[in-house]
């Protein structure tokens, strides 16, 4: 009786090990690359989406198009990439190895949208009314010329605050200049002839009409100017 139980236990253990081995062999490590054809040459598709159809299992390719995913016999693998046609790969039931390599080629999916023309008026009748009522007198040209006057543009340039990108660029340039002269004295541009030439040119152009501190953009010269 004891030997019979021992044999039965051994048989059960053997069957369990075979079942576990069969389940392990059913899993296949599917690896490969997702690529496309560009001028006859294969090019990887970085971060392509790879998933198992009708499941929540999947992965993404790396920046070189390589992927690795655990699948089973009969699984349908879906390859997706924005702007490309979806491709499917059926894992064969005849595979005996636990590893398989796939090089999946995706083709571009070209979608032609209908032409859309945007008009500022609902129909031609509104356009006709607006065209006939349009003011083409010299007053409009005078207003446009006034808006394009150099003194007006110069005034807007001096009063308009800088945006985020401009302020960031100015700050980084100042920091770079401070680091460049760290531990030493800065050069005195007041003795530079180029700085004085730029100063007198600006004075002759009439850039300074009131008392202010002048900062030459090219020579970084700072001098007070007084108007008589």
- Sign (positive/negative) of CA torsion 155, 159, 162, 163? negative
* pLDDT score for 173: 85
Q: Is residue 114 part of a domain?
A: no
The helix/strand count (H/E) of the chain reads as: 6, 10
Model confidence, pTM: 0.42
**For the domain that residue 43 is a member of, what is the CATH number?**
2.60.40.1120
Same domain, 221 and 133: yes
Same domain, 56 and 135: no
Same domain, 150 and 86: no
Q: Is residue 112 part of a domain?
A: no
Domain that holds residue 139: 124-225
DSSP three-state, residue 127: helix
- Distance (Å, whole) CA 72 – CA 52: 10
- Residue that the structure tokens 């005034």 belong to: 155
- Distance (Å, whole) CA 113 – CA 18: 58
Compute the C-alpha angle 44/82/69, nearest 5°: 60
Per-block mean pLDDT, blocks of 10 residues, the chain (228 long): 54 53 67 91 92 91 92 92 93 87 91 82 81 77 82 81 84 82 74 82 75 45 42
- Domain count for the chain: 2
- Where is the domain boundary, 58, 79, 106? 106
């Amino acid at each position: 009786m004891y030997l019979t139980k021992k044999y039965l236990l051994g048989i059960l253990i053997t069957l369990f090990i075979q079942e576990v081995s069969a389940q392990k062999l059913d899993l296949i490590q599917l690896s490969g690359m997702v690529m496309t054809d560009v001028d006859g040459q294969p090019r990887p598709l970085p971060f392509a989406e790879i998933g198992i159809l009708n499941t929540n299992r999947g992965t993404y390719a790396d920046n070189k198009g390589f992927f690795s995913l655990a699948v089973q016999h009969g699984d349908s693998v879906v390859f997706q990439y924005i702007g490309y046609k979806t491709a499917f790969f059926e894992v064969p039931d005849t595979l005996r190895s636990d590893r398989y390599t796939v090089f999946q080629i995706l083709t571009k999916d070209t979608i032609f949208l209908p032409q859309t023309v945007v008009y500022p008026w609902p129909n031609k009748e509104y356009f006709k009314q607006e065209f006939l009522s349009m003011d083409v007198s010299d007053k409009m040209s005078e207003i446009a010329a006034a808006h394009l006057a150099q003194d007006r543009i110069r005034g807007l340039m001096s009063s308009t605050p800088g945006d985020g990108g401009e302020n960031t660029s100015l700050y980084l340039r100042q920091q770079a200049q401070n680091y460049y002269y760290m531990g030493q004295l800065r050069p005195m541009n007041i003795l530079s002839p180029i700085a004085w030439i730029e100063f007198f040119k600006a004075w002759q152009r009439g850039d300074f009409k009131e008392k202010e501190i002048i900062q030459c953009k090219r020579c970084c010269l700072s001098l007070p100017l007084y108007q008589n």
